[in-house]
C-alpha cells in the first residue's frame, strides 16, 4: 500500500545545531503537511505545501516540497530546546479524495 | 474558538469488551478523521467522515467502526477489544476534506488489560 517514509527516526542535537528530517513517498502526492507533537501532547499543524518545488519558511524552519512531489524536508536552523518534539510529515494522494498518510515521525531531542 | 474535544481522556477496558469514544470538532468544521497512535506504528489512519458519510477507511478490521452526526460530532466504536488495541486515539477536524489542515484533539488513551 501507499507509504510515506520518514527519516531519521531519532535525532539528538546540541542546542544551536541544525536539524533536518526527510519524507519520501512511493507515489506522487497532491499535497504534504507537517505537524509537530510535543511530548505528552497532540500533533499541531505547522504548514502545508502544494506546489512542485515549493519552499516555505517560518522563522528558523524551512519546508521544501520536491519537484516530483514525492519528497519533502523540514530543516530547522540553530535548534533551541523549544524545538523538542516529534515532527511528522503527512502526504495526501488523489487530491481531496485521499486521506492523509502520516510518516512515522522524527523525534528530536535538543541538549542545552 | 474552542478546540477539538475528546471524551473520555482515559479509559481502561478488559479484553472482549467494547468501547465508544467521542469527538467534538471545532465549530464550523465538518470533516472529522480518526487516528490510532502507538509507539511502534506511529499515526495510523482509521477513517474520515464528512457530512455524516464515511469518505475513507484505513486498513483496520471491522471491529473498528465510526459515525458522524448532523452536528459534525463523531464517535468511534471498537468491539471485542484486544490487547493490541491499547493506544492513543486521536480525532482531528478540518473545515472540509482535502487540502485543509487538521486540528487534533488531546486524544483518548485506551488501555486494554
**Per-residue model confidence as pLDDT tens for chain B (113 residues):** 689 999 999 999 999 999 999 999 999 999 999 999 998 888 999 999 999 999 989 999 999 999 999 999 999 999 999 999 999 999 999 998 877 899 999 999 999 99
Task: Express each pLDDT in A92-107 by its tens digit.
Answer: 877 666 788 999 999 9
**Mean pLDDT across chain A:** 93
Of A45, A50, A96, the CB nearest to B102: A45
pLDDT for the residue numbered B41: 85
Which chain B residues have a beta carbon less than 8 Å from that of A100? 33, 45, 102
Residues of B with a Cβ under 8 Å from any A Cβ are 33, 35, 41-45, 48, 55-56, 58-59, 90, 92, 96-99, 101-107
Which chain B residues have a beta carbon less than 8 Å from that of A95? 98
Of A43, A48, A99, the CB nearest to B104: A43
Residue written as grid cell 528530536: A108
Of B99, B103, B106, the CB nearest to A31: B99
pLDDT for the residue numbered A98: 77
Question: Partners of A4 in the beta sheet?
Answer: A25
Question: Partners of A45 in the beta sheet?
Answer: A35
Distance CA A8, CA A52 (A): 23
Nearest CA in chain A to B41: A104
- What are the phi and psi torsion angles at A44 (to 5°)? -125, 130
Nearest CA in chain A to B5: A42
Question: Partners of A49 in the beta sheet?
Answer: A32
Distance CA A31, CA A46 (A): 14
For the cut 70, the answer to whether the pLDDT of residue A1 exceeds it is no
Side by side, the strands of the sheet bearing A61-65 are: A4-7, A19-25, A71-76, A61-65, A55-58
Amino acid at each position: 500500500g501507499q507509504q510515506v517514509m520518514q527519516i531519521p527516526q531519532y535525532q539528538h542535537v546540541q542546542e544551536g545545531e541544525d536539524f533536518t528530517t526527510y519524507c519520501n513517498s512511493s507515489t506522487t502526492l497532491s499535497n504534504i503537511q507537517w505537524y509537530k507533537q510535543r511530548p505528552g501532547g497532540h500533533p499541531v499543524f505547522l504548514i502545508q505545501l502544494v506546489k512542485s518545488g515549493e519552499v516555505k519558511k517560518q522563522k528558523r524552519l524551512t519546508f521544501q516540497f520536491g519537484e516530483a512531489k514525492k519528497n519533502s524536508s523540514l530543516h530547522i536552523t540553530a535548534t533551541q530546546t523549544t524545538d523538542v518534539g516529534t515532527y511528522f510529515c503527512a502526504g495526501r494522494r488523489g487530491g481531496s479524495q485521499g486521506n492523509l498518510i502520516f510518516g512515522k515521525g522524527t523525534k528530536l531531542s535538543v541538549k542545552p | 474558538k474552542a478546540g477539538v474535544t475528546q471524551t473520555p481522556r482515559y479509559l481502561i477496558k478488559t479484553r472482549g469488551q467494547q468501547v465508544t469514544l467521542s469527538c467534538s470538532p471545532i465549530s464550523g468544521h465538518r470533516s472529522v478523521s480518526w487516528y490510532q497512535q502507538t509507539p511502534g506504528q506511529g499515526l495510523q489512519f482509521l477513517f474520515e467522515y464528512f457530512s455524516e458519510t464515511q469518505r475513507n477507511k484505513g486498513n483496520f478490521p471491522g471491529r473498528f467502526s465510526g459515525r458522524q452526526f448532523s452536528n459534525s460530532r463523531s464517535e468511534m466504536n471498537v468491539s471485542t477489544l484486544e490487547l493490541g488495541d491499547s493506544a492513543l486515539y486521536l480525532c482531528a477536524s478540518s473545515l472540509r476534506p482535502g487540502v485543509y489542515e487538521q486540528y487534533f484533539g488531546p486524544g483518548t488513551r485506551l488501555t486494554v488489560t
